[in-house]
Structure 1
């Protein structure tokens, strides 16, 4: 599992070129984004000083995607992030974001685990291949979000709306928490 692997070490040379230490070749920001989408953690360090530059490069990747019109972060969330930098110590925002993403990954994993356990097709010989294909599809649809997606997509049966309802509930809760955080400031 990607979570137990050590991070992929990328070294930045004085020329600002990025070097993948595993494959011994140069990489671009888009290559690094692809590693992350595939579930790999990365660590980017300056070769000369040894400084950890990971955060700086991850923010640059996000900024480039946002500038190309791939808007994932709503303006009000970006405003809240900027405000959080004005609060001494960063306020509650870093812990809130980390907890929110951990909760999302855990809920995705539980949902996929439950769907796999209750699926009568899991006894079929070709089920694992079909499951892998569906996992790849889900990963593509979610942009690699939450590497825990490992099961099949849910059938359109009577319970088919549960996952979308859960997602809507999570979105509502997130919006409520953002409003509360905004009011605290």
Structure 2
């Protein structure tokens, strides 16, 4: 029986074929996607060089699903991701995305319990905090403009305070990163 607590090791041969080391057979990208959907962590390494290729193959799986019309990522999000590679925000984007997805995963079971309610996502633990964090992040990324967001009254002042807080946290992170490079 395979140990599902450690990542499933997939080796890529020079022929670009992917080899499942647990079952001793070749697998496709779709097989890997199925392993991941079933909750299995996967690590893909180049047999010859030992390089970790996991990120490259996960992106390829996402691209294939998106190209087949199984769109999960809105064009605006994809555009913002591309934009983040060319800005200073690249240092905070991975942490922001990871934190957002962790909050989403943690709240999934609660959302399922509340499915019968009018807005199950609003009942998800941390949803308001995640929404506020995302709004402040996008406001910072877009120079303060969030389409459809309220801009006046106490809510606007709170968002401005949140933005100031995020900017100070970003400055602190950038300072720490610059010290690590030295």
Question: Same fold per TM (> 0.5)?
Answer: yes
> Secondary structure of the equivalent of 2:43?
strand
Give distance in 1, aligned partners of 2:133 and 2:79. 15
- Choose the corresponding residue for 1:183, options 142, 157, 170: 142
| Structure 1 residue 106, shift from structure 2 partner | 1.5
> Secondary structure of the equivalent of 2:122?
helix
Q: In the alignment, is residue 35 of structure 1 matched against residue 38 of structure 2?
A: no
TM-score when normalising by structure 1? 0.66
Alignment of 1:11-160 (within 5 A): 11-88=11-88, 90-109=90-109, 111=110, 154=114, 156=116, 160=117
> Secondary structure of the equivalent of 1:59?
helix
| Structure 1 residue 105, shift from structure 2 partner | 1.2
CA RMSD between the two structures: 2.7
Partner in structure 1 of residue 123 of structure 2: 166
Alpha-carbon distance change, 44 to 183 in structure 1, aligned in 2, over 3 angstroms: same
| Structure 1 residue 66, shift from structure 2 partner | 0.5
Alpha-carbon distance change, 177 to 35 in structure 1, aligned in 2, over 3 angstroms: farther
Give distance in 2, aligned partners of 1:35 and 1:155. 27
Alpha-carbon distance change, 177 to 49 in structure 1, aligned in 2, over 3 angstroms: same
> Secondary structure of the equivalent of 1:26?
strand
Give distance in 2, aligned partners of 1:26 and 1:155. 40
Q: Deviations for 1:115-155, whole angstroms, at most 9, x for unmatched residues?
A: xxxxxxxxxxxxxxxxxxxxxxxxxxxxxxxxxxxxx7557
Unaligned runs of 5+ in 2: 145-182
Which fold has the larger relative contact order, with Cα–Cα distance below 8 Å and residues 6 or more apart in sequence? 1
TM-score when normalising by structure 2? 0.67
Alpha-carbon distance change, 57 to 14 in structure 1, aligned in 2, over 3 angstroms: same
Give distance in 2, aligned partners of 1:72 and 1:178. 20
Give distance in 2, aligned partners of 1:155 and 1:43. 34
| Structure 1 residue 18, shift from structure 2 partner | 0.1
Unaligned runs of 5+ in 1: 113-151
